[in-house]
Amino acid sequence: MNSEERREKLLQLVQARGFASLPDLVAVVDVSESTVRRDLDALEEGGSVKRTHGGAFYSGPSPNLPHFRQRQESQWDKKKRIADAAASLIEDGDTVLLDGGSTTYELARVLVGRPLQVVTNSLPVANLFNTDASTDLIIIGGYVHARTGSVQGPYASEMLKKLHVRRAVMSAAGINDRGIFNTNRLLVETQWAMMAATDEVIVVADSTKFGHQSLAHVGELHSINTMVVDDQLSESWREKVVAAGVHLILAGEGVGKNGQKAESIGQ
């Protein structure tokens, strides 16, 4: 089989198992370990798997969630930089709450393999950590939104009232002068419960979200502690975010690679 067919077969195995060891992957395609490692590198670059010691985890969204996949692919380069920068805010041993946004999903992929306690209302995010022995996983229960795989509504909010986390990382569908917005009321009510359950609220959003409004209002800018955005954010929006008392982190090219760091502005 050619390299494309081989990589597809490797991906199918990793996806089916959640994690596949290097010997198992070598056996299924009958090539050398070095060839499989190169194939895994290519799959990891494409966002489908995450390499780890001895094998690979599946890191792509569920094939039954095409809407989620479309959101994941939109502005992917910006989301990846934001995720790398946001990961530096999470300390080993943290209890971190991750919502069901596509940028939050990119952050989750970076965090796989770290010793954390992860609380999430996202089935795609939970799938990433399900076979990760280094992470304690807690899944919020409730109504599952069919297009995104995120759990929301009154049951989710009630469960969140009984929890406390150190950091909550949330997404946004729009950000304007009135604050943060998301796509539906049930999701926003769940995000309110997340904000009440945490010491620090972190919003991750690419720069295309700014200047826009979505259906439901999450909160004003000053209700956020930290915001991580790509460095294409306009100067006027940088000033507005910092003026609201928010710690702004701008993720540039090379964040998480070759030692280059994100720019930190404000608190």
Q: Is the pLDDT assigned to residue 62 strictly greater than 80?
A: no
Write the CB contacts of 38 (distance below 8 Å, at least 6 apart in sequence): none
DSSP, res 150:
B
For each of the domains in the chain, give its residue range(s) and CATH number, in order of start.
3-58 (1.10.10.10), 66-265 (3.40.50.1360)
Side-chain half-sphere of 153: how many Cα atoms within 13 Å? 9
- pLDDT value of residue 12: 85
Helix or strand run (H / E) with residue 170: strand 165-170
Of the ranges 85-99, 104-118, 133-147, the best mean pLDDT one: 85-99
Could you tell me the two tokens for 116?
Answer: 């954390």
Q: What is the pLDDT of residues 234-267, one digit of tens each?
A: 999 999 999 999 999 999 865 554 444 578 787 6
Tell me the pLDDT band of 162, cut-offs 50, 70 and 90: very high
Q: What is the pLDDT of residues 164-180, one digit of tens each?
A: 999 999 999 999 999 99
